[in-house]
Amino acid sequence: MALKITLKPNEKLIVGGAVITNGATKSAFRIENTVAILRENSILTADEADTPARRIYLTIQLMYVDPKQLQEHQTLYWQLVNEFIDAAPSSLALIDHINELILSEKYYDALKTTKALIEYEQEVIERVT
């Protein structure tokens, strides 16, 4: 079944590793095969990855859209999550769930779950400060 996507004017989208920017008007199209897709509101840039949880998100995003460098991204991912657990052991259950998704190659689902990790990180920072 095809995926129908409607883009707002100037909205960005990653399709199979390619960044696509819509023109000045709204447009709709269908994707007929299975490919990594991220809408602009789910894309995190390197500049925006300014916390440990956001760096984990960015690394998973790269696993999802850049499979040619998967081994490098996975190596970095395991390093980042180990550091995160050392700093916030209470995050272990959430990290374990993300790990299961990574090991199952369900990168999009891992990204969605990592958004909860980003929220959790923010809550911890607010409690500490």
Question: Which among 34, 6, 45, 46 is positioned nearest to 22, based on CA atoms?
Answer: 6
pLDDT in tens, 27-48: 998 999 989 999 999 999 999 9
Side-chain half-sphere exposure of 96, counting CA atoms within 13 A: 5
Question: What are the sequence ranges of the domains in the chain?
Answer: 3-42, 52-128
Side-chain half-sphere exposure of 77, counting CA atoms within 13 A: 26
Using CA atoms, how far residue 84 sits from 13, 53, 75, 111, 119, in Å, is 29, 8, 14, 16, 14
pLDDT in tens, 52-96: 999 999 999 999 999 999 999 999 999 999 999 999 999 999 999
